[in-house]
Amino acid sequence: MTLTVWVDDWQMQCCGENFAPGDVVSWQLLVADPEEYADVVGGDLAAGIDFHEEHHGEGEGAPTALEVLTINEVHCRFEVPAGSAERVHHPVPGSTVLVPVEEADGWAQERPGVRFAGYLVTARRIADRP
């Protein structure tokens, strides 16, 4: 059985370790709330996100050993919502660009009109290996 895991750009940039398809990683997984990712990746993709990776002490439980199968960079536009009194940029729904990559290091090539937000990783628990 495969899992889809969200990995934040800032988590990787702060203290994440590079990973690639075929690598075995040990991640703290927290159950994902699809609503948190809907504006970034769209509702359909967000509904398929099982977990998000966390390595800054939030949550409980032992790390999970996973084999990385695929990695997609997620890019989207960020703007201040119309009529907002705050100058906080939010993801713009429908602006998602997915880029398949062979390695995740927390950084991504700049793309016109969008900003790197994180990774969607397809993985398999090591215990699920055939």
Q: Looking at residue 27, what is its pLDDT?
A: 92
Q: What is the dihedral of CA 10, 15, 20, 23, to 10 degrees?
A: -140
Distances 28 to 9, 56, 58, 94, 129 between C-alpha atoms, Å: 16, 9, 9, 29, 19
Q: Looking at residue 60, what is its pLDDT?
A: 66
Q: 90 φ, ψ to 5°?
A: -125, 155
**Predicted model pTM:** 0.90
Per-residue confidence in pLDDT tens, the chain, 130 aa: 899 999 999 888 888 889 999 999 999 999 999 999 999 999 999 999 999 998 766 666 688 999 999 999 999 999 998 888 888 888 999 999 999 999 999 999 999 999 999 999 999 999 755 5
**In the numeric block, which tokens belong to residue 72?**
């997609």
